[in-house]
Amino acid sequence: MGRAAGPTLPPATLAAWGAFAGAMLHAAWLVRSGPVPRIAAANDAAAALARLDSAALIGRPALELLASPEDEAFWNDVAAGQADGIESDTLLRRPDGSIVPVRRRVRALAMDDGGRPDGKALYIVALHDLSAQLQAERELELSLTDLRATLESTNDGILVTDLAGRIRNFNRRFALLWSVPEDLLVKGKDDAVLDWMRRSTADPAAYMRRLASIEAGVNSRSADVVRLRSGKVFERVVTPQFNQGQPIGRVYAFRDVTEKLEAHQRIQLLSYTDTLTGLPNRQLLADRVEVALATSRREGTPFAFLLLNLDRFSHINETLGHALADRVLLDVAERVKGCVRQIDTVARLGADEFVILVQQADEPGAEAAATRVIDALKQPFAQGDMRFSVTASIGIAMHPSDGTDLDDLERRANVAMREVKGAGRAGFRFYRSRPMQGDAPLRSRMKLDHAMRQALAHGRFRLHFQPQIELHSGRTIGAEALVRWRDPELGDISPGEFIPVAEESGFIVAIDDWVLREAVKQAAAWHAAGLELVMSVNVSALQFQQPGFVDGVAAVLREAGLPARWLELELTESILIQDAQDAMLRLQGLAQLGVKLAIDDFGTGYSSLGYLKRFPIGRLKIDRSFIGGLPDEESDAAIVQAIVNMARALRLKVVAEGVETEAQRAFLERSGCDHCQGFLFAPALDAAAFERGLQERDASRSPDPVQT
């Protein structure tokens, strides 16, 4: 306790002050009023606060330590007898010049019997040091500033509530994500904000049920997804908030995952669907097949696997270009989808190959689905001002009889589809297992392709030649070179068997180049021996389209020393229409060399008078399919006569293939056909046999009658 202010205070007053001040926790002065209010007594806490000895405080003017304008006004009022109390925050000035923030409270002590202050009144000045409180407030403000900066720096929307759901804090990102109107963000509108959130969700009832579940789990952290009516998707993470181990509220973090989810969905879409048609791809098809297998095992129901391959789609690609060909594929996909049920699957494996998975279907059901597809494709396709037809070959494998997984079903459906291709295309066929053969057609193609390549490398191919006869004279005017192959292991293999395999693999170019070289060499040898025969050589589409094809023909002629007019190249109609401009340039180049040009299998392709007039063609070869019915089949006779008449009008020669009877020969001669070939005259023969046959025909041919 501080010492008394001197003898001016009565002992009773000092005793009362000492008992009172000693019990106080805060600093306290006893101040005597007067013209200059002075400290009459002070406790130890006051000395410590002022950093002065208690004795040094006695007699000091009160305004020396508390010198705010408010204090001056107060003590002036005291001196005038007009004030008896004051309480507010002020500053205490220490002797070393430092300042201490304090809360000061001043009260008067009554000195007369009536309890009223008089001119000699004493005042108690209580001082509370605010330094620690203000420091704590500054630290709290700094923490709040840091917290606010942290909340605003995150990309998540943050909402803080107490246990009753009242909003305690939020950041601007939260308001932006939820599009909360500005007028709802003022304090006191918590219910309006929460109701806005509820109404913004895609399913308000489900949102409230989930919110109730979250609020029931006071101590648990949870994460889920919230979908809004606007299409936004939020990831919501709820974290309980604790103070001294007791739950006081929750922190809701909302993250906009809309773009992330859409990107994931796009990736999923690309992973499982065909980019062009949007149909399931092989990966998704595999999943659908697994489901179908599980259903079949559970319910004992079969299903069908239809493999669909478009016929001659490469012609469409080359004629229309890739962009329009893709539109054709889209049209095909739409038509096929329209032929199946919702439980079925249509997938695209790539290029022009599709799969139809027909659920819960036996063979009649599979046949019905295949028939619907073929009928749908019969309708003409149109791109721009072009109208054309697209057909498909469909192979069908049944589960469980033909396979128990995707690989088995696809392989066997492919075998059946290849059989449709070989039988003329534009149809469907079920896979039928063959005893001890399994998937022999597929394996035989692989074996055939390998053997074919070995045959060319080891010189196992050879050429045979079929004579071409001038009808009105019976004279041999040329020969068609035909490739033959005898394999030491496989025996004789017909061109009808290995040529399609060579075309499919692209090896046909190598075979055609060999045939051209060998045929020209043989023609040159005959020419040197005095046999002036035109050598006809077939050209495949792939060979014709090779860069430098015209230069290659010129080089072969030059190496063999054969004049170009003794070589005729036979091309199919489809070759000429695939790229008419390019075909024209190549044909003109060949014509400039002096090479003769013929259209092979005329009447079976895309016949057009336009290209016959424009292209430098010399002969038309009537396909053997129109010769077999002559002379009795009226339609064949009419077609042949029409071709001959058209050729005559265009000043083209005509040669008929496959002539086997004298009646056919006679009809062709009467019709005006120029040349023919076939078994009636000779089959295809090796060079030596061809020469002997030529000599025999020349010897047996009677001399021309004398004109009279």
Relative orientation angle of helices 662-671 and 634-649, to the nearest 10 degrees: 40
H-state helical runs in 80-203: 131-153, 172-178, 190-200
Strands (E), 311-436: 345-350, 353-358, 381-383, 386-388, 392-399, 427-430
CA 30 to chain centre: 88
Residue ranges of the chain assigned to CATH 3.30.450.20 = 11-129, 152-260
- Quickly list DSSP for 61-101: BHHHHS--HHHHHHHHHHHTT---EEEEEEEEEPTTS-EEE
Residue with tokens 């000429």, as numbered in its chain: 576
CA-derived radius of gyration, the chain: 54
Tokens of 505: 């693999």
Fold of 152-260: Beta-Lactamase (3.30.450)
What is the predicted pLDDT for the residue at 432?
Answer: 79
**Residue 466 pLDDT class (50, 70, 90 cuts):** very high
Distance in angstroms (rounded) separating the CA atoms of residues 665 and 675: 10
Residue ranges of the chain assigned to CATH 3.30.70.270 = 273-433
Distance in angstroms (rounded) separating the CA atoms of residues 511 and 520: 14
CB 178 within 8 A of CB 230: no
**Mean of all residue pLDDT scores within the chain:** 84
CB 5 within 8 A of CB 59: yes
Q: What is the pLDDT of residues 326-384, one digit of tens each?
A: 899 999 999 999 999 999 999 998 889 999 999 999 999 999 999 999 989 888 888 77
* Between 705 and 286, the higher pLDDT residue: 286
Phi, psi (5° rounding) for residue 209? Answer: -65, -40
Fold of 11-129: Beta-Lactamase (3.30.450)
Mean pLDDT of 474-481: 94
Q: Say which residues have a Cβ less than 8 Å from residue 130's Cβ, sequence separation at least 6.
A: 89, 101, 102, 103
Residue ranges of the chain assigned to CATH 3.20.20.450 = 462-700
Does the structural domain 462-700 have CATH classification 3.40.50.1110?
A: no
3-state secondary structure of 673: coil
Q: Does the pLDDT value for residue 117 go beyond 70?
A: no
Q: Which CATH architecture has domain 273-433?
A: 2-Layer Sandwich (3.30)
Instruction: Among 105-119, 196-210, 216-230, 669-683, name the one with the lowest average pLDDT.
Output: 105-119
